[in-house]
Amino acid sequence: MKNKFNFKILGSGPTGLFLSIALSKFDCNIFLTDLLTKDRLIDKEKTYAITHSTRKILSKFRLWEKLEPYLFAFDSLSISDSVTSSMTNLSIFDLDDDISSAKAIGWVVKHSDLMTVFFQEIDNYENIFFMTPQRLLRKKIIFDYQFLSTGANSLDKKLFDFVDIKKSYNQSCLTFKVSLRGNCEKRAYEIFRKEGPLALLPLEKNLYQVIWTSSTLKAIERLNSDKNFLMDNLSTILPDEFKLDQIIGEFNIFPVSLSLNFQAFNFKKLVFVGDAFHTFHPVGGQGLNICWRDVNTIFDLFNKNIVITNMHLSLFKFKYFSSRILDIIFTMFITDSLISIFANKKLFLFPIRKVSFLLLNNFLFIRKLVLNQMTKSFIYSRIK
């Protein structure tokens, strides 16, 4: 590689931090910047589902063992359709042999724990520099390449001339933590409802993260409602065996959309990564996992070359886009299909919904196909 390329990463969330760690393996300077301070970046009430493909990627960068103390594994997944009263339970026995030894379908991690581990990791690298945009601007550095990971609706993204397609679901997700009794301790839940899915992710014994999708108007109404009213409302949705004790911590709300940025259509030395590149409906918990698959692809593309030149950087955007597009389109199709089929009350779809659960409950190979696609994706075998 040329002596010390300068790479700039705009956005220091989980994707930006992970990208800086991946790029630090090369002979380059990485300038990581964000409008928020480190404390504010860490202190957010969010959680993420982690899949087996992500476990393999994190292990590749020796981050899995550092995150493992903060991960809560779940070994079963309940999927139900409240409209047709159908349900199925997937377990570790439905996993492929190459991942069943992990004894988990997936894992859940709190945003604050994840970010703390990542910031501690970047402190170990002398070629990663975290600073404010103002301070970085004063340094007057000429950047060889820029990576934008500031999210789907950031102002930075709107400043660049790229083709962006977007589908709005006119929905938002309300998220908060609840204390529950009567549940299976290490089970995650996906409940399809006519207004949108409701997910429960286990954080520890009797503590769950609620991800409640509905119309944006309804989500805002619930956000502003009394906690007791919200608890009563939620109690009517949860399975009968649950006992809701209390709501814990703060509420968060975020819009839901499907989007894809066609960044390969110009020669600017800048690419979008993570949510700036693509967004999906949160059903199935694919969001952060596919963002980190972007990072893994970026690393692999750089790692293919013994010496990286300016010519490689000029072609990088096209290679990156072509390497990622199939995985992204497939995930878009799956998540959008789930919402189109299961998150409504259309009578003509009832037979499809009923038959889907009938197949899941009676055919092991279908259970395996569905579960392993969700947690491995078809790129699992290509992660080296």
- pLDDT tens, position by position, 61-97: 999 999 999 999 999 999 999 999 999 999 999 999 9
Q: Give, as one character, the DSSP assignment of residue 153.
A: T
> Would the pLDDT of 58 be above 60?
yes
Q: Stretch 89-116: mean pLDDT, rounded?
A: 95
- Of 193, 164, 358, the closest CA to residue 265 belongs to 164
Strand order in the sheet with 86-91: 86-91, 76-81, 187-192, 198-204, 207-215, 163-181, 243-262, 278-279
Q: Which of 27-36, 159-168, 178-187, 318-327 has the lowest mean pLDDT?
A: 159-168
Contact 178, 210 (CB under 8 A): yes
Q: Stretch 249-266: mean pLDDT, rounded?
A: 86
pLDDT bin (cut points 50, 70, 90) of residue 288 is very high
Q: Which of 155-169, 297-311, 335-349 has the lowest mean pLDDT?
A: 155-169
> Would the pLDDT of 2 be above 50?
no
pLDDT over 70 percentage in the chain: 96
Q: pLDDT at position 238, please?
A: 87
**Residue whose token pair is 């009938």:** 358
**Residue whose token pair is 């959008």:** 336
317-333 CB burial, b ≥16 within 10 A, e <16: bebbbebbeebbeebbe
Q: Stretch 58-62: mean pLDDT, rounded?
A: 97
Is the pTM above the cut of 0.85?
A: yes
Which two structure tokens, joined as six digits, stand for 170? 């006119």
Report H helices in the chain: 14-23, 38-42, 52-60, 64-67, 97-100, 111-122, 133-139, 155-158, 216-223, 227-235, 287-303, 310-342, 350-362, 364-376
Q: Which of 87-96, 104-113, 239-248 has the lowest mean pLDDT?
A: 239-248
- pLDDT tens, position by position, 34-55: 999 999 999 988 999 999 999 9
Q: Give, as one character, the DSSP assignment of residue 11.
A: -
Q: Stretch 185-195: mean pLDDT, rounded?
A: 92
Contact 112, 57 (CB under 8 A): no
Output the CA torsion 273→171→343→329 (10° steps): -20
* Residues 6+ positions from 285 with CB-CB distance below 8 Å: 48, 49, 51, 106, 199, 201
pLDDT over 90 percentage in the chain: 73
- Of 257, 326, 321, the closest CA to residue 287 belongs to 257
Q: pLDDT at position 307, please?
A: 64
Q: pLDDT at position 310, please?
A: 73
- Of 95, 115, 136, 108, the closest CA to residue 15 belongs to 115
Residue type, 102: A
Q: pLDDT at position 4, please?
A: 82
> Would the pLDDT of 183 be above 80?
no
